[in-house]
Chain A
Amino acid sequence: MLIKRASDLRSSEITDKKVYLGRREFIKAAAGAAAAGAGVLAGTDVLSAAGKPAPHGQKLENVQKSPLSVDPAKDKLNSWEDITTYNNYYEFGVDKDSPSLTAGRLKTSPWTVAVDGECAKKGNYSLEDILKGETLEERVYRLRCVERWSMVIPWVGFPLANLIKRMEPTSKAQFIEFQTLNDPSQMPGVQSPVLNWPYREGLRLDEAMHPLTILVVGLYGEVLPKQDGAPIRLIVPWKYGFKSAKSIVRIRFLEKQPLNTWQESAPSEYGFYSNVNPERDHPRWSQASERRIGEFFMRRTLMFNGYGDQVASLYSGMDLKKHY
């Protein structure tokens, strides 16, 4: 190694005094940041916890069984605990247990749903108005999350088609959009811009009118728990779970296809249709299999989540890899 004598040192090689002194500042800042970082790493980063099951609610009266429910021999029901402690509802936080821990603040009564757009019966409807004249049915459906897990859930609700007919959509109405409540005082999750709130989801009108598509107000014969989208949510069982908007405050009839929140967030990953499709992988993971909550071995994911016989005709002639 060549050791330079002092005379060989060019003035440019001598560390500027400001930089030299600045080093202490940098060091202090780095030390502070490291200490803060260590605190954060150790403290707030608990990824997994059992969550808090929803308290049992009011029993719903006169709930009818439905022939559209799945066969319990093939699809065993998930427990109340599973369904009320493990789900995505980003308005209440991004962890699976967050909704169960923070949804208690949600005020579900009184509840109003605004209906507008291309329909004759625009207006604000109370939950009671919406439920008036509807027969509640128990629909046991498979739910497939886009994250490769699934559950079997006994929802209680009624066909969305009934409500749509009552609202008398105009001939221009081709699509329907649902909006979730966006209230920072009741929903801690919307305080951070993880998604572009309010949460919006949409369907083609014929998808919305399909007999499998339901509005849900109950679970296991009881009033729907807050963490699962109370007081009223959508369920479209052949699509990934995120299509089924929760805690709906607005329904719009539209001429043009709306932009749904997840598509807006990551268009290459989430499309408008989002039908369960084992052939079309999520860009970051395979959709060919899924873990049923409670099981070790994964299952093969079924086209349209196993509802192909009923819904495949809605998409005849469409390239579902393109229209994902």
Chain B
Amino acid sequence: MTANQLVRFVAKPVVFLSALLPVAWIVWAFQAGALSANPLSDVTNETGVWTLRFLCLTLAITPLRRLTGWNLVIRFRRMIGLFAFFYGTLHFLIYVIADRFAGLLDFPDGIVAWSTVRNLLAAIGEDIYERPYITVGFTAFVLMLPLALTSTTGWIRRLGGRRWQTLHRLVYASAVGGVLHYWWLVKADVSRPQIYAVVVALLLGFRLYSARARAAAPRPSTATRSGAVAPPARSSTRTSA
């Protein structure tokens, strides 16, 4: 088996299945009654935190690659990034169902009715408008949407590496928004959001530092890389959307 085949047929499936373990655990714990007396709150929180974890992992790929010279890790970035979007989507949907829908209070025409849809949309909109932590959390989620849509090799080609990369820097804003969202919703103890704030700050700080270092000392070997950092199209398993 070549190294390429090893990545494609062994490492990638292993990473893929591992990334599904949290959601498998959440589903199991929910139906087995292994969560707290407020399981809807638990599944909302867990999926939110896993979104942040996967965002941190996504942001860790480039620093890891630069620091270790282990170029292979780049081939897992798209998958891990898409898992961040996957957990973010779950988090958002659970919020919509367990908080907004369950909190509607009135179903004037019964539950299955257009008025329910209208009231639900209004309730979501109101929350996004009125509650800063929801505003920032929702924004962080929405910013991931174009990234997930343009994650395919076809879109990288269509946009061109540099433009694609500029677009995908939105993930920085998404991570910062996610941390703020977490920070603003806790009541008094910010120690957990603080951990994510430090991790995201280090991961973004690394980029700032290395960009500055490269700008300050444009040696020939780095000058060629300073444009497009990520060549994700290389050795991809998919060719187009």
Contact = CB atoms under 8 A, between A and B. Distances in A.
A267 B213 CA distance: 45
A47 B213 contact: no
B31 to A, nearest CB: 13
A194 interface: yes
Given A34-B60, A82-B37, A48 B188 contact: no
B199 interface: yes
Contact of B38 (A13, A23, A45, A96): A96
B189 A194 contact: yes
A288 B205 CA distance: 42
A97 B189 contact: no
A293 interface: yes
B199 A37 contact: yes
Contacts of A96: 36-38
B35 A48 contact: yes
A285 interface: yes
Contacts of A315: none
Nearest to B29: A48
A120 to B, nearest CB: 37
Residues of A in contact with B, size category: 35 or more
A298 B102 contact: yes
B191 A192 contact: yes
Contact of B202 (A19, A20, A30): A30
Interface in B171-219: 184-185, 187-189, 191-192, 195-196, 198-199, 202-203, 205-206, 209, 213, 216-218
B196 to A, nearest CB: 8
Interface in A80-94: 81-82, 85-86, 90, 94
Given A33-B198, A34-B199, A194-B189, A289 B103 contact: yes
B188 A94 contact: yes
Given A40-B195, A94-B188, A285-B131, A33 B105 contact: no
A210 to B, nearest CB: 27
B202 A149 contact: no
Interface stretch (B6-14, B45-53, B86-94): B45-53
A15 B105 contact: no
B195 A14 contact: no
A37 B198 contact: yes
B148 interface: no
B33 A50 contact: yes
Contacts of A73: none
B63 interface: yes
B41 A149 contact: yes
A300 B103 CA distance: 9
A293 B98 CA distance: 13
Nearest to A294: B37
Contacts of B233: none
A293 B36 CA distance: 10
Interface in A107-125: none
Contact of B188 (A23, A40, A90, A288): A90
B184 A293 contact: no
Given A30-B202, A297-B102, A50 B35 contact: yes
A13 B216 contact: yes
A168 interface: no
B42 A291 contact: no
Interface of A: 3-4, 13-15, 19-20, 23, 26-27, 30-31, 33-34, 37-38, 40-42, 45, 47-51, 78, 81-82, 85-86, 90, 94, 96-97, 147, 149, 192, 194-195, 265-266, 284-285, 288-289, 291, 293-294, 296-300
